[in-house]
Amino acid sequence: MSELKLPVTVPSTALFTDHYELTMVQAALHAGTAERRSVFETFTRRLPEGRRYGVVAGTGRVLDALESFRFEPEVLAFLRAHDVVDAPTLDWLADFRFTGDIWGYPEGEVYFPGSPVLRVEGTFAECVLLETVVLSILNHDSAIAAAASRMAVAAGGRPLIEMGARRTHELAAVAASRAAYVGGFTSTSDLAAGFRYAIPTVGTAAHAFTLLHDSERDAFTAQVESMGTGTTLLVDTYDVAAAVRTAVAVAGPELGAVRIDSGDLLLVAHRVRQQLDELGADRTRIIVTSDLDEYAIASLAAAPVDAYGVGTRLVTGSGHPTCSMVYKLVARAAAGGPDAPLVPVAKKAQGGKTSVGGRKWAARRLDADGVAEAEVVGTGAVPAELAGRELLVPLVRGGEVVGREPMDDARARHVEARDGLPLSATQLSRGEPVLPTEYV
């Protein structure tokens, strides 16, 4: 990770919050309850419609955001000028540093309704401030990673290129690329993501480069002379068959790849493969793009396609741009002081918005064949038969980050977690969560 964070991150995340979080701190300070020990948990009550599992992504970004959560003088001046909170609260914010503990599902792990994806423990005031920044990161990144995971399953091991930067906000594009990498994509077109997270970047030329030149041959010649015969030539600007002939004539049988960006991809891919083989370019790969999603990728499973480039549908979560995660107070101390016992608390409401109180653990129960059969969530002691199967790991201790890890670890973990689910988890047809959530 580069030490130069700008312009792909921000110097402070303290204002990535909602107004009422600061006013709650003010009222709690006034009431003397701000320092009361509290436990908040992030979870979702349901998966997006039709999804069989969720994917945890963004954990590393949450840790980065926590370290940058500081109320600098300029931020405090803004709050003072707009009368957001009173002077004593501003003084408290000026010295703010998160000093609590955070546990969570490790990045790349799968989750289900009710899974305590993140557990934040500390004083009420320091924990409540983190609600919006935690949810904005986890909701976005986990949605992208879930879409990426489904696409990776549909691709059946063929490489996937993330290329959605022009379809979303410029900073969201960097986060989306990261989440897609965790979910199974192999590279990105976004240089900012490569710079920030060391994700492999790829790209050669768009239709504009072909249109710039007097002929397609001139364009291909210029690209090959500049980038070598291993480059990828875009062959659907005019006539695909003619372009393939020209591409091989210019680059020879060692041409790296051709890209198809329009038309009936299944039919065109078969025709291009046959043509390349007849021209002696039997090792030239075929890359397809053009508004792909997991269903389109699955429909190309039998096609002679070597890699896929995905943009819009990926960075918008393939129809589900959020996971609907919430951040709720589930326990708080019965009184002030570090030794006061925790009391479970939970909202009671109509319309399915209830939650389960208590500081929770989670474990995944396996069947006799080692396949996951239930997500078990509890508030007491972990049953002996689930020992060693707990899912939450320490991320922050005493305000210090302890859970940062390379993204390749998260990528590998996701494959392992997904492979440990029942086979129906990878079906693209709509269905219920592949594992039930059991509360004990």
Average pLDDT (16-30) is 97
Does residue 64 belong to any structural domain of this protein? yes
Specify whether 285 is located in the same domain as 182. yes
3: pLDDT strictly greater than 60 = no
Does residue 12 belong to any structural domain of this protein? no
Question: What pLDDT does residue 353 have?
Answer: 76
Specify whether 219 is located in the same domain as 291. yes
Specify whether 303 is located in the same domain as 332. no
Does residue 100 belong to any structural domain of this protein? yes
Specify whether 207 is located in the same domain as 286. yes
Domain of residue 276, CATH code = 3.20.20.70
Domain of residue 64, CATH code = 3.20.140.10
1: pLDDT strictly greater than 90 = no
Specify whether 208 is located in the same domain as 266. yes
Domain limit, last residue, from 312, 333, 352 = 312
Domain limit, last residue, from 288, 312, 336 = 312
Does residue 319 belong to any structural domain of this protein? no
Does residue 317 belong to any structural domain of this protein? no
- Summarised one tens digit per residue, pLDDT across range 379-415 is 989 999 999 999 999 999 999 999 999 999 999 999 9
Specify whether 306 is located in the same domain as 173. yes
- Summarised one tens digit per residue, pLDDT across range 27-62 is 999 999 999 999 999 999 999 998 999 999 999 999
For residue 106, which amino acid is it?
P
Question: What pLDDT does residue 417 have?
Answer: 98
Using 50, 70 and 90 to split pLDDT, how confident is the model at 9? low
6: pLDDT strictly greater than 60 = no
275: pLDDT strictly greater than 70 = yes
Question: What pLDDT does residue 393 have?
Answer: 98
The domain tally of the chain equals: 2
- Summarised one tens digit per residue, pLDDT across range 238-266 is 999 999 999 999 999 999 999 999 999 99
Classify burial at 374, counting beta carbons within 10 Å of its beta carbon; exposed 0-12, middle 13-18, buried 19 or more: middle
Does residue 148 belong to any structural domain of this protein? no
Specify whether 163 is located in the same domain as 199. yes
Supply the range of the domain harboring residue 351: 19-129+324-439
Domain limit, last residue, from 257, 286, 312 = 312
- Summarised one tens digit per residue, pLDDT across range 337-376 is 888 999 999 988 766 677 899 999 999 999 999 999 999 9
Neighbours of 422 (CB within 10 A): 15
- Summarised one tens digit per residue, pLDDT across range 145-182 is 999 999 999 999 999 999 999 999 999 999 999 999 99
- Summarised one tens digit per residue, pLDDT across range 200-236 is 999 999 999 999 999 999 999 999 999 999 999 999 9
Specify whether 284 is located in the same domain as 182. yes
Question: What pLDDT does residue 4 have?
Answer: 54
Average pLDDT (71-87) is 96
Specify whether 328 is located in the same domain as 308. no
Question: What pLDDT does residue 339 have?
Answer: 84
Using 50, 70 and 90 to split pLDDT, how confident is the model at 5? low
Specify whether 206 is located in the same domain as 106. no
Question: What pLDDT does residue 431 have?
Answer: 87
Specify whether 212 is located in the same domain as 296. yes
Does residue 89 belong to any structural domain of this protein? yes
pTM: 0.94
